[in-house]
Amino acid sequence: MLPANRLPVKQFNTVLSVVLCLAMLTASAQKGTLKKTPISQPLVTHIYTADPSAHVFNGKIYIYPSHDFEAGIKEDDLGSHFAMRDYHILSMDSVGGKVTDNGVALDIKDVPWAGRQMWAPDAAFKDGVYYLYFPAKDKTDVFHIGVATSKSPVGPFKAEKEPIKGSYSIDPCVYKDTDGSYYMYFGGIWGGQLQRWATGKYDANAKLRTANEEAIMPRVAKLSADMKSFTETPRNVKITDAHRKVFLESNNDKRFFEAAWMHTYKGKYYFSYSTGDTHYINYAMGDSPYGPFIYKGVVLKPVEGWTNHHSIVEIKGKWYLFYHDTQLSGKTHLRNVKVTELHYNADGTIIPIDAYR
């Protein structure tokens, strides 16, 4: 008989191997070297795409993403390395089906007022015309939002000669309300320049908010009947906690950074957005397209890569989240768009999504 505190050599070696393996796995996890398994795969792999704004037009799915490429520009906090210069529109008949790249829909060389950096776009449809809304820096390096039109959802689009009057910053999202009105939500801090418009006029020297100051809010403006101008001066979109208290800049796991999106579900307005430096897609709910919106929680947990940008769309009775990560390249500025199903709880809150297993 062996003493109670001893194991046969073979069993001891087996236990030792398991212990060592677990120790190695723990060490790898702590170093961030374990490869996570994504829950979905890139929709296209021949080009880099990001910031997917998805829509259903005439029963077909169209995705309006940014088009990433390697410009050889050093990475910085202003996003100078995101040097996108055209748009490719993707389409598919159903989620999981074949995805078509419809080629260049709009190139920066065909936008008279634009200088560089065509960032995240969105699209809308009204009275037989498709509208592509896009941010770009003008010739003086100030971001504005432009609009281009086409008779086809995939373009080519013809840009207006000037950006939308009164527009600024980045990440336009255009939402059609139940009464047929259209609203544009927009804005992004840091490189998106929203902090430079605190007074309604551009101030190149304006600073970001300090930790104990109220966080900078996104903007919303109602669009005119021609879909090419605002009917009003852009307003702040108020996002609060459950006690109706506005977030401070120090609440950077909850406050707005960029990537506004609006959708409705069971009569409620859902304003979702990226927290930027903490990498969440969060959402808040309200009773009006103008808000205020009460913070409810997380839509999407952080993905691989620095940025996070999304859209939420109902397709054939199911809800989907379109988003991006850096699975293909491993580089922050070379991203790939993806899609996964989104689910709600009985009370209308969204079940948070982890993009990895």
The pLDDT tens digits for 168-199 are 999 999 999 999 999 999 999 999 999 999 99
From CA 50, how far away is CA 67, in angstroms rounded? 7
CA nearest neighbour of 96 among 302, 265, 316: 316
Q: Is residue 9 part of a domain?
A: no
Q: Is residue 325 part of a domain?
A: yes
Residue type, 124: A
Question: pLDDT tens digits for 140-153?
Answer: 999 999 999 999 99
> The domain that contains 197 carries what CATH number?
2.115.10.20
Q: Is residue 119 part of a domain?
A: yes
Question: pLDDT tens digits for 274-324?
Answer: 999 999 999 999 999 999 999 999 999 999 999 999 999 999 999 999 999
Q: Is residue 11 part of a domain?
A: no
Name the active-site residue from 51, 68, 171, 304.
51
Q: What percent of the chain has pLDDT over 90?
A: 90
Please spell the DSSP secondary structure of 246-306, one letter per residue.
BPBTT-TTTS--EEEEEEEETTEEEEEEE-GGG--EEEEEESSTT--EEEEEEEE---SSS
Q: 341 catalytic, yes or no? A: no
Q: Is residue 28 part of a domain?
A: no
User: Using 50, 70 and 90 to split pLDDT, how confident is the model at 35?
Assistant: confident
Residue 31's pLDDT is 43
Q: 101 catalytic, yes or no? A: no
Residue type, 229: S
From CA 19, how far away is CA 171, in angstroms rounded? 49
Dihedrals phi, psi of 108, to nearest 5 degrees: -60, -30
CA-atom Rg of the chain in angstroms: 23
Q: Are 351 and 345 in contact (CB under 8 A)?
A: yes
User: Using 50, 70 and 90 to split pLDDT, how confident is the model at 350?
Assistant: very high
Q: Is residue 355 part of a domain?
A: no
Q: What is the mean pLDDT of residues 200-220?
A: 97
Q: Is residue 314 part of a domain?
A: yes
pLDDT at 90 over 50: yes
Residue 36's pLDDT is 87
Would you give the distance in Å from CA 15 to the centre of its chain?
Answer: 47
Q: Is residue 23 part of a domain?
A: no
Name the active-site residue from 68, 122, 171, 258.
258
Total domains present in the chain? 1
What residue numbers bound the domain in which 139 lies? 37-342
